[in-house]
Amino acid sequence: MIPLEYISFNHVYKSFGQTRVLDDFSFSVPAGKIICLIGPSGCGKTTILNLLTGLEQPDRGSISGTANLRISCVFQEPRLLPWKTVSENISFVLQDLTIPQQQELIDLYLKNMSLYEYRNSYPKHLSGGMKQRLAICRAFAFPHDLLLLDEPFKSLDVLLRMELVQQVAGMWGEHPRTIVFVTHDILDALLLGHFILVLSAKPTTTLDTLEINIPLGERDIAVEPFPAYYNHILTLLEGRASKSKRGQA
């Protein structure tokens, strides 16, 4: 693994045609933490992930801390290989390891995600939530320095979302890595984020950055300071949305 110290966006500008997506966008967070990006639809969250992977380049400004990293991703859709079993979908990304090493990781993550008994099943036999759990297993198992989560819980019901959030927190606790997690859900961000970046509508800037030092497994969203954090984030998002609508009127 490549040792990281910080991931930083330094005064980044990014446009697509006449549409400016990022406008003097900056943040810097220490590595080995979970960074949550929350903001309105279309504000540029996926663009930020694409900049982190190198699929896009900034028009101006710079991004530091990401060079030569091994990056793993989880998307809104599981993107599984239908002709491979549950175990084979994970072993597919572990080709550099020995067979015993592969099996050890596969068993570990399938047990963590309560999928071990389905290890010989094919994706078509899994529910939507199980497919997403498998996608998360595969992403964590792949030897990576940076994990990008692009709204992986978006299509799931509330109870399953909460279950997966807790499982992701548990797997991060066993093997801490830098995670950048895009979400629309404030509760997801509060339960998982060490840093929460609240983003504006386009052109996107950072409205606020919250640092939460309470350990992941000890967070209770019904107990302060989490209700205050929730209201603060909601006020920022609603206030920015209201200003945007007035500006378009």
Angle subtended at Cα 165 by Cα 161 and Cα 169, rounded to the nearest 5 degrees: 170
Q: What is the pLDDT along the chain (249 residues), one digit of tens a residue?
A: 444 567 899 999 999 999 999 999 998 888 889 999 999 888 899 899 999 988 899 999 999 887 778 899 998 888 999 999 999 999 999 988 899 999 999 999 999 888 999 999 999 999 988 998 999 999 999 988 899 999 888 877 888 888 888 888 988 988 888 999 999 899 999 999 999 999 999 889 899 999 999 999 899 999 999 999 999 999 999 885 444 443 333
Please state which of the four CATH numbers 2.40.50.100, 3.40.50.300, 3.90.1150.50, 3.40.1190.20 is assigned to the domain occupying 6-70+148-248.
Answer: 3.40.50.300
Give the Å distances, CA to CA, from 92 to 80, 98, 194, 219, 248. Answer: 11, 12, 31, 35, 49
Task: Copy the structure tokens of residue 205.
Answer: 């800037």
Range 79-100 burial, b when 16+ CB lie within 10 A, else e? ebeeeebbbebbbebbeeeeee
Query: Any idea how long the chain is?
Result: 249
* Global confidence as pTM: 0.87
For the chain, domain boundaries: 6-70+148-248, 80-143
Contacts of 126 (CB under 8 A, 6+ apart): 86, 118, 134
